[in-house]
């Protein structure tokens, strides 16, 4: 299963305002807006286009949490930047005084970054450069209209995974620089 969330922000008080889970065929299992406990900041709306008016009459997280828990029970859930989604789902449960279910995840962003093979210096030494979902989807030929909304993002994540599955050598072909020379990758 693939999961994507949209949120009221990225901070410690942010919460889920949309959640989608699709199966391996791209069929939605859970796809709903969620009414947060706080107004959605304009900065967040500018990214995902979800407004306070859109969530005014939709279910709150306690109304969605049981269905969410049933869907993810015993499954590995793939998300693009899984650590972010897991953190925001835990925060949303905490805001409502609920216990978050144990979630087993795999991160499509880290998988794509490894395949892409571009090293950058990070907080803990050298690591693969993280690529935004839109950029990865464009590179893989699976960019969809409606980016930054859950269903489109979940479908693009599935498309990136399918693209990587078709690549049997496990690494992106070496890049050529402006002079036509093959650029070496750092090890």
| CA 157/CA 2 separation, integer angstroms | 8
CATH number for the domain formed by residue range(s) 2-166:
3.30.420.10
Using one digit for the tens of pLDDT, what is the confidence trace for 104-133?
Answer: 999 999 999 988 887 877 767 777 888 999
Q: What predicted TM-score, i.e. pTM, was given to this entire model? A: 0.85
Pick the closest to residue 88 from 159, 146, 3, 30 (CA basis). Answer: 3
At 29 the three-state DSSP class reads strand
Does residue 46 have a pLDDT over 90? yes
Using one digit for the tens of pLDDT, what is the confidence trace for 77-93?
Answer: 999 999 999 999 999 99
| CA 161/CA 157 separation, integer angstroms | 6
Pick the closest to residue 79 from 158, 170, 163 (CA basis). Answer: 158
Q: Tokens for 15?
A: 């919460």
| CA 180/CA 169 separation, integer angstroms | 22
- Exposed, middle or buried by CB within 10 Å (0-12, 13-18, 19+), for 99? exposed
């Amino acid at each position: 299963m693939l999961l994507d969330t949209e949120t009221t922000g990225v901070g410690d008080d942010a919460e889920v305002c949309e959640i989608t889970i699709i199966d391996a065929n791209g069929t939605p299992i859970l796809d709903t807006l969620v009414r947060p406990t706080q107004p959605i900041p304009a900065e967040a709306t500018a990214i995902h286009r979800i407004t306070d008016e859109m969530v005014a009459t939709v279910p709150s997280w306690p109304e969605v949490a049981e269905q969410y828990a049933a869907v993810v029970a015993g499954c590995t859930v793939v998300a693009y930047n899984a650590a972010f989604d897991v953190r925001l789902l835990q925060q949303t449960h905490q805001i409502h005084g609920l216990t978050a279910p144990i979630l087993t995840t795999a991160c499509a962003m880290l998988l794509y970054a490894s395949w892409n093979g571009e090293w950058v210096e990070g907080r803990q030494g050298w690591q693969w450069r993280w690529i935004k979902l839109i950029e990865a989807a464009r590179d893989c030929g699976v960019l969809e209209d409606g980016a930054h909304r859950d269903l489109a993002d979940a479908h693009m994540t599935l498309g990136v995974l399918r693209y990587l599955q078709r690549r049997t050598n496990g690494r992106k072909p070496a890049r050529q620089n402006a002079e036509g020379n093959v650029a070496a990758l750092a090890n």
